[in-house]
Amino acid sequence: MRVGAWQALLLVMHRELRLSFRRPDQLLQPLVFFLIVTTLFPLGLSVQLTLLREMAPGVLWVAALLSSLLSLDALFKSDADDGTLEQLALSGHGLTVIVVAKTLSHWLVSGAALVLVSPLVGTALAIPTGAFGVMMASLAIGTLTLSWLGAIGAGLTVGLKRGNVLLSLIVLPLAMPLLIFGAGATDRAIGGTSAAGALYLLGALCILTCTLAPFAATAALKITLE
């Protein structure tokens, strides 16, 4: 009996999550990086709450972008290196199903985890608790968008030995709108004004990448698989 696309999606996600939890060091690295980078700023800057509060959204977002990038390199690479990507590609489901499953799993262990620890970082950066909701929502949407953008970059660089730097060069320029609107939303929430506009724009970007990036990443991956 054939396996449906949904079941295949869930099975690949199950595989990805199990692989992630088998390697707790790799799972924790981006998270610890995020925590340390954001902690360095209050230590390095003068201890003025107003200054810190003004810098906080930018610091938070730059750290989130960079830490998400850390784990993106391995998105397809480890499977390509040991030959399991070929097995997945020949599984009787389109490669898109595999790409979607792998990208969503990447977001769960990187982006969603960042969202969960972000209140801790928010406290260190003197972000008022009232702004936590917007901060977490914007980070959730932003990191998901970033995972999709990263999937395209990871698909393009999977065949390269040292693709990590190139991956950053491909993904970071595309991530600039995320930084602007994400930091903007958090900034407004801190200032006590409505962050709805920036959140809507982030949402629009997220929907755009969710719908187009799976196909772009699949195409990129196909080229490099050949």
Partner 1 sequence: MNTAVDGLCVEKVHVWRGDRHVLKGVSLDLHPGELMHVSGPNGTGKTTLLRVVSGLLRPEQGSVSWRGQSIVTVREDFQVALAYASHEPALKSDLTALENLRFTVGLRRRVTVQELRAGLERTGVGACADLPARVLSAGQRRRVAMARVLAFQAPFWLLDEPYTNLDAAGADLLSRLLEEHVRGGGLALVVAHQDLDLATPTRQLRLQG
Cβ proximity to partner 1: between 96 and 164 the closer is: 96
Give burial (CB, 10 Å; 0-12/13-18/19+) of 106.
buried
Task: Tell whether residue 24 is a contact of partner 1 (CB under 8 A).
Answer: no
Given candidates 18, 129, 194, 196, which one binds partner 1 under the rule CB under 8 A?
Answer: 18
Task: Tell whether residue 2 is a contact of partner 1 (CB under 8 A).
Answer: yes
Give the binding-site size for partner 1 (rule: CB under 8 A).
Answer: 27
Task: Tell whether residue 1 is a contact of partner 1 (CB under 8 A).
Answer: yes
The whole-angstrom separation of Cα 154 and Cα 133 is 31
Cβ proximity to partner 1: between 3 and 45 the closer is: 3
Task: Tell whether residue 112 is a contact of partner 1 (CB under 8 A).
Answer: no
Cβ neighbors of 82 (< 8 A, separation 6 or more) are: none
Task: Tell whether residue 22 is a contact of partner 1 (CB under 8 A).
Answer: yes
Given candidates 77, 93, 102, 188, which one binds partner 1 under the rule CB under 8 A?
Answer: 93
Dmax over Cα atoms in the chain, in whole Å?
Answer: 65
Task: Tell whether residue 96 is a contact of partner 1 (CB under 8 A).
Answer: no
The 3 state secondary structure assigned to 20-34 is HHHCHHHHHHHHHHH
Half-sphere exposure of 38 (CA within 13 A, CB side): 31
Specify the amino acid at residue 96: T
Residues 167-206 vs partner 1: string with x where CB under 8 A? ----------------------------------------
Q: How near is the Cβ of 71 to partner 1 at its closest, in Å?
A: 15
User: How does 166-198 read in b/e, with b if 16+ C-beta sit within 10 Å?
Assistant: ebbebbbebbeebbebbbbbbbbbbeeeebeeb
Task: Tell whether residue 82 is a contact of partner 1 (CB under 8 A).
Answer: yes
The whole-angstrom separation of Cα 69 and Cα 59 is 16
Cβ proximity to partner 1: between 44 and 92 the closer is: 92
The whole-angstrom separation of Cα 200 and Cα 35 is 27
Single out the segment in contact with partner 1 by CB under 8 A; choices: 3-11, 62-70, 145-153, 164-172: 3-11
Residues in contact with partner 1 by the rule CB under 8 A: 1-3, 8, 11-12, 14-15, 18-19, 22-23, 79, 82-84, 86-94, 225-226
